[in-house]
């Protein structure tokens, strides 16, 4: 993966129509059996606060962090950090943490 196939383009910052200053985050903790514990975080001042909370509550578990967004059909999530270990082809599926 890495940055080899990443596409980077400059943008005019005025292309954005709306900003969310306090997005809702989701932090999923996965243990070595691939059991998960999902948490919804509201009113975080920044992603730094979310990362600090996740680290303080990780207890040795694998962490995946998402941000929620709304769309016409409901609510979605976009991955910010980590990989779903149960997703086919996930890089974390090969992580030594999840090998039995």
pLDDT of 23 > 90? The answer is yes
Task: State pTM to two decimals.
Answer: 0.81
State the pLDDT confidence band at 100, using cuts at 50, 70 and 90. Answer: very low
> What single string gives the DSSP state of each residue in the chain?
-TTTT-------GGG-----SS--EEEEEE-TT--EEEEEE-S-SSHHHHHHHHHHH-TT-EEEEEEEEEETTEEEEEEEES--TTSTT-GGGGSGGG--
Read off the pLDDT of residues 30-85 as tens digits, 9 standing for 90 and up.
Answer: 998 889 999 999 999 999 999 999 999 999 999 999 999 999 999 999 999 998 88
């Amino acid at each position: 993966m890495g940055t080899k196939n990443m596409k980077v383009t400059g943008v005019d910052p005025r292309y954005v129509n709306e900003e969310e200053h306090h997005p809702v985050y989701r932090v999923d903790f996965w243990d070595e059996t691939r059991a998960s514990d999902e948490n919804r975080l509201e009113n975080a001042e920044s992603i730094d606060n979310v990362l600090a909370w996740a680290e303080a509550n990780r207890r040795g578990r694998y962490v995946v962090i998402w941000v929620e967004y709304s769309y016409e059909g409901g609510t979605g999530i976009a991955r910010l950090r980590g990989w779903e270990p149960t997703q086919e082809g996930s890089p974390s599926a090969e992580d030594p943490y999840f090998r039995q």
